[in-house]
C-alpha cells in the first residue's frame, strides 16, 4: 500500500501508520483521515485506464483505496450504480440539468454498502472475523449482508425505531441483532462499550476512517459517468456526516490526482427536526449543539452526529450550501422521484432531492446550474412511510360497472 501515506488526525495533525484497526488518534482521540501520495497514484491511473476496465463495481478504483491490491472483497457487486439524466424532472423544477445517482440499487439497497464492503476488507486485513456496529439501519443491513457474503460474524445494534424492512434484512443475513430501547445516541454508546469489551472489529460511523474511503467511490463514479465533466452542485442527505464527507473526499482525490479540474459545491440536506450540522454551518459555528431526533427520515435522525467536523469542513471547503427540509417536503420528494423518474427512495434517500427543490425555490442555487442528486437508499426498506406518502390503491369488486363508477369518482379518464 505504497500509495497510502498515513492516517492523519484531523484534530492535532499527528500522523499514524495506516493500520487496519487503528480507528482514532492515540495522542488526542481525534478522528483520522487517510492521506495519499497523489503523484504515486497519478503514475498508475488515468482516465483511459479506468475507461478500459471491465469491473463495474467500486473496486475498479483500487488505486484510490486504502487496501492491498490483492485483498479479498465480500464478492457482492457494490457500486456501479446508474446515473440517470432526468430532463423532464429538471424542466419541471426549472433547472438546466439534473441527474439522479441511484445508490438504492446496491446489494442491500443503500449507499452504505460501499462503506461496509470496505470494513469487511479492513477487518480481514486486521485478522478479525467478527464485526460490529450501531446504526440507524442501513449501515447495519449493509454490514450484515457483506459479512454474510464473506463468512464473517456480526453484532448489530439498532434503535428500536429502525423500520421493519431493515430489521428483516439483518435477521435474514444472520446477524446477531440487538434492538435498543432508546435513541440512536443511546444505541451508539452501548455498541461502543460492547465493542471495547469483546474486541470486535469496529464499523461504527466516523470512528473507523476507512468507511469514508468506501463511500467516496460514489463520487469517482459520478465523475466517470459524466465523462469527467463535474456538475456545479451535488446534493446529499446528511445524518452522521460520513456520507457527505466521503462524497467530498472522492472529488478532492480526483482533483489532487489531476483527473478532474473542477470541484462541485455540496448541498447538505438535513431534516428540519434534526439538523445539527446544517445549524452549525448556517451560524458559522464549529461547536456541535445536539438536537432531538425528530423526523420520519429515520436514517438521518442523528441528534449527535459522529462526523460533525469532517462534514462541516466538507460543506465549507466546497463553498456549499445547507438546506433543511420538513417531513412533508421529504414525502413530496419521494413521490416526485417515483412519479417522474421511476426511482423509489426511502425518506433519507430522497432528502437530497427535497433539498434541491427547496434550494431552487429559495434562490439558493441558480436555474442555470447542473446538479446531481444522490439517492442514498431504496424505498422498499420502509414501505409504511411510502404508503403514507403515496396513499392507498383503489380497492374494488371484480365488476366492470363498479370499475366505471370508481373511475368517475376518482376523476380518472382512461
Ligand X SMILES: Cc1ncc(COP(=O)(O)O)c(C=O)c1O
Give contact residues for Zn ion (rule: CB under 5 A).
9, 11-12, 14, 25, 27-28, 30
What's the min distance (Å) between Cβ of 10 and Zn ion?
Answer: 8
Could you tell me which residues come within 8 angstroms of residue 197 by beta carbon, excluding any fewer than 6 positions away?
Answer: none
Place of cell 423509489: 344
β-pairing verdict for 15-16 and 4-9: antiparallel
What's the min distance (Å) between Cβ of 306 and Zn ion?
Answer: 16
Three-class secondary structure of residue 62 per DSSP: helix
Of 1-9, 43-51, 341-349, 403-411: span binding ligand X (CB under 6 A)? 341-349
Q: Which of 124, 300, 322, 343 binds ligand X (CB under 6 A)?
A: 300
Phi, psi (rounded to 5 degrees) for 293: -100, 70
**Site membership for ligand X, residue 377 (CB under 6 A):** yes
Cell of 326: 420538513
Of 66-74, 146-154, 242-250, 316-324: span binding ligand X (CB under 6 A)? 242-250
List residues bridging with 375 in a β-sheet: 102
What's the min distance (Å) between Cβ of 37 and ligand X?
Answer: 27
Q: Which of 3, 60, 62, 112 binds ligand X (CB under 6 A)?
A: 112
What's the min distance (Å) between Cβ of 7 and Zn ion?
Answer: 10
**Site membership for ligand X, residue 271 (CB under 6 A):** no
Residues 6-65 touching ligand X, rule: CB under 6 A, are: none
Give the nearer residue to ligand X in terms of CB position, either 205 or 341: 205
Residue 382, exposed/middle/buried by CB under 10 A (0-12, 13-18, 19+)?
buried
What's the min distance (Å) between Cβ of 404 and ligand X?
Answer: 42
From Zn ion, ligand X, none, which one binds at residue 32 (CB under 5 to 8 Å depending on kind)?
Answer: none
Q: Give the angle 314-138-380 at the CA atoms, nearest 5°.
A: 120
Q: Which of 136, 208, 278, 295 binds ligand X (CB under 6 A)?
A: 136
List residues bridging with 246 in a β-sheet: none
**Site membership for ligand X, residue 299 (CB under 6 A):** yes
Could you tell me which residues come within 8 angstroms of residue 255 by beta carbon, excluding any fewer than 6 positions away?
Answer: 261, 262, 263
Residue 360, exposed/middle/buried by CB under 10 A (0-12, 13-18, 19+)?
middle
Residues that bind ligand X in the complex, under the rule CB under 6 A: 110, 112, 136, 138-139, 205, 237-244, 299-300, 302, 346, 348-349, 376-377
Amino acid at each position: 500500500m505504497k500509495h497510502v501515506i498515513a492516517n492523519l488526525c484531523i484534530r492535532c495533525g499527528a500522523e499514524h501508520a495506516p493500520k487496519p484497526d487503528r480507528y482514532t488518534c492515540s495522542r488526542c482521540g481525534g478522528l483520522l483521515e487517510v492521506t495519499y501520495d497523489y503523484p504515486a497514484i497519478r503514475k498508475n491511473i488515468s482516465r483511459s485506464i479506468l475507461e478500459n476496465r471491465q469491473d463495474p463495481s467500486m473496486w475498479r478504483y483500487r488505486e484510490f483505496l486504502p487496501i492491498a491490491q490483492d485483498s479479498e472483497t465480500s464478492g457482492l457487486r457494490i457500486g456501479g450504480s446508474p446515473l440517470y439524466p432526468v430532463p423532464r424532472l429538471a424542466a419541471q423544477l426549472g433547472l438546466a440539468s439534473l441527474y439522479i445517482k441511484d445508490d438504492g440499487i446496491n446489494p442491500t439497497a443503500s449507499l452504505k454498502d460501499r462503506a461496509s464492503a470496505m470494513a469487511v476488507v479492513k477487518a480481514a486485513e486486521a485478522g478479525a472475523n467478527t464485526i460490529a456496529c450501531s446504526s440507524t439501519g442501513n449501515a447495519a443491513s449493509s454490514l450484515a449482508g457483506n459479512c454474510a457474503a464473506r463468512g464473517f460474524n456480526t453484532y448489530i445494534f439498532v434503535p428500536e425505531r429502525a423500520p421493519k424492512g431493515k430489521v428483516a434484512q439483518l435477521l435474514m443475513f444472520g446477524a446477531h441483532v440487538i434492538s435498543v430501547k432508546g435513541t440512536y445516541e443511546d444505541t451508539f454508546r452501548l455498541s461502543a462499550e460492547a465493542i471495547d469489551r469483546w474486541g470486535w472489529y469496529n464499523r461504527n460511523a466516523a470512528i473507523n476512517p476507512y468507511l469514508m474511503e468506501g463511500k467516496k467511490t460514489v463520487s469517482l463514479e459520478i465523475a466517470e459517468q459524466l465523462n469527467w465533466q463535474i456538475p456545479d452542485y451535488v446534493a446529499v442527505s446528511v445524518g452522521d456526516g460520513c456520507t457527505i464527507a466521503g462524497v467530498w473526499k472522492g472529488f478532492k482525490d480526483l482533483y489532487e490526482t489531476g483527473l478532474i479540474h473542477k470541484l462541485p459545491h455540496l448541498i447538505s440536506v438535513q431534516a428540519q427536526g434534526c439538523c445539527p450540522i446544517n445549524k452549525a454551518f448556517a451560524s458559522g459555528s464549529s461547536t456541535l449543539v445536539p438536537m432531538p431526533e425528530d423526523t420520519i427520515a429515520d436514517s438521518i435522525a442523528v441528534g449527535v452526529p459522529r462526523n460533525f467536523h469532517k462534514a462541516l469542513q466538507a460543506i465549507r471547503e466546497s463553498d456549499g450550501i445547507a438546506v433543511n427540509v420538513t417531513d412533508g417536503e421529504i414525502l413530496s420528494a419521494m413521490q416526485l422521484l417515483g412519479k417522474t423518474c421511476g426511482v423509489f427512495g426511502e425518506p433519507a434517500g430522497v432528502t437530497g432531492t427535497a433539498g434541491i427543490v427547496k434550494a431552487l425555490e429559495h434562490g439558493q442555487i441558480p436555474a442555470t446550474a447542473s446538479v446531481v442528486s444522490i439517492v442514498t437508499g431504496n424505498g422498499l426498506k420502509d414501505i409504511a412511510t411510502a404508503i403514507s406518502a403515496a396513499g392507498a390503491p383503489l380497492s374494488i369488486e371484480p365488476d366492470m360497472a363498479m370499475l366505471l363508477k370508481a373511475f368517475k369518482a376518482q376523476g380518472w379518464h382512461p
